[in-house]
Amino acid sequence: MSTKKIKKLLVANRGEIAIRVIRAARDLGIPTVAVYSDIDRTALHVRMADEAYHIGPTESAQSYLRADKLIDVMKKSGANAVHPGYGFLSERTHFSRAVIDAGYIWVGPPPDAIDAMGSKTAARQQATKGGVPVVPGDKEPIRDATDARKTAKTVGYPIMVKAVNGGGGKGMRVVRSDAELDGALALAQNEAQAFFGDSSVYIEKYIENPRHIEIQIIFDEHGNGVHLFERECSLQRRHQKVVEECPSPFVRPDVAAKMGEDALKAGRAVGYTNAGTVEFIMDANQNYYFLEMNTRIQVEHPVTEMVTGVDLVKTQLLVAQGEKLPFRQSDIVKRGHAIECRICAEDPANNYMPSPGLITHLQNPEGPGVRVDSGVYEGWEVPMSYDPMIAKLITWGSDRREATQRMRRALLEYKIGGITTNIPFHLALLEHPDFGTAAFDTHWLDNKFKFQAQPAPSDEMPLALAAAALARKDSAVPAAQPDGGSSGSMWKIVGREAQLRRL
């Protein structure tokens, strides 16, 4: 039975996730409020929301990361709930507490649960308390090199020095011998201080050639919780996920089922409610260890939605209203296979340099099994100031082979003019034999995959081909067509030829 009602929802984010949340709210008949910085004045999420409010300069520290400005917009707009999306303030306890203390509905887990899983060492303690396996190592920050050597002696080299409040690969160093330890420790501490404002680090056993497997979970406020199977997230470049799949093509079903139960244990250990993701690291023998918990909706949540048919964002809103989960564990069925490619405004042939600028042409792929979660439109200028991901392309198939075939077709149909994107990178990745056999780990993209720019397919060189075709046709085509229905236009003729070549 619902005890509270979302009357108007503030979406405290931008880009594709803001639009994803707006759509879920619309499905429930909930009006939405967008916020925007100077440079996002004409962004798609601003156009789609029912209302929009300016919150400051382009710098996120002065706009999307300002809890006080977001609370002020809630007061002005009459919104009584906030969905934080991912990134920005989604896992910042001070914001969730400020929302709740002001009497509004927070679409996310309790602040105490965010706190408990915010620090890597605290999260390891909680996971251990819940009976979830963790990588052997410290559960408290180390004080100095002497502490580090004690742990190294216990777990054995190689080890990993990790920032307590780290993420994105920052503040991490692999150490393979005692001689390397002092230098690596100093570097990790300095990096941790620079990126996270806290030099605290800890030590854990380094898992060679690991895979990154995560479990989607969701709890209501009545003690009910389910997992929605695993996602394969091992294809990472510089510790950033690039392609995700559901289910994993590597994990055995019996192991995946056990991981699902352990993920629920981790959630229960901290009194979790709403959607979250428990991330595991897995070795070649399918031994898995708790890595961390993301206390928010994930970028890659659509692959789970495609395979289970569950609308995770809509369910988040229902749970935040105090409603019971509308399904039980036995109702969640895995059907088929889904793949997600993150589409970024970057140049893979030029060390993945960002490629901001005006989108002069946009044609989204369509057809069976294809979904596009996008934050852009033709005529909009991609800014330099934020994450380069502009859309997510997701395909579904009855099995991994069909999902891959549809992804290849969808990538070829995806036309984005005016900026450079990583679509050619994804096409090359799909063609690699190791992708076909799922023979990869979290280091594979950085160490073994070499992207080489390929010439555009023939149907993507319109000017050159049209000119050549016109030259040929000038002498071969009569002035009038015998069926009387064609004017003999060279543009029509060239267009038909191009279509026939595709077939």
User: Which residues fall within 8 angstroms of residue 351, CB to CB, at 6 or more apart?
Assistant: none
Half-sphere exposure of 271 (CA within 13 A, CB side): 7
Q: Which of 20, 173, 211, 296 is catalytic?
A: 296
Q: Is the peptide bond before 158 cis (omega within 30 degrees of 0)?
A: yes
Token pair, residue 229, equals: 């199977």
Burial category of 360 from C-beta neighbours within 10 Å (exposed 0-12, middle 13-18, buried 19 and up):
exposed
Please tell me the chain's helix, strand, coil percentages from 3-state DSSP, rounded to the nearest 5: 40, 25, 40
CB atoms within 10 A of CB 303: 29
- Let me know if 335 is a catalytic residue: no
Please check whether residue 312 is in contact with residue 305, taking contact to mean a CB–CB distance below 8 angstroms: yes
Q: What's phi and psi for 204, nearest 5 deg?
A: -140, 160
Burial category of 100 from C-beta neighbours within 10 Å (exposed 0-12, middle 13-18, buried 19 and up):
middle
Cα–chain center distance at 364: 19
User: Which residues fall within 8 angstroms of residue 495, CB to CB, at 6 or more apart?
Assistant: none
Closest CA to 392 of 419, 364, 434: 364
Please check whether residue 152 is in contact with residue 203, taking contact to mean a CB–CB distance below 8 angstroms: yes
Token pair, residue 70, equals: 């977001």
Instruction: Give the position of tokens 């570097």.
Output: 187
Token pair, residue 75, equals: 């007061």
Burial category of 76 from C-beta neighbours within 10 Å (exposed 0-12, middle 13-18, buried 19 and up):
exposed
DSSP string, 352-373: TEE--EE--EEE---STTEEEE
Polymer length of the chain: 503
- The residues annotated as belonging to the active site are 296
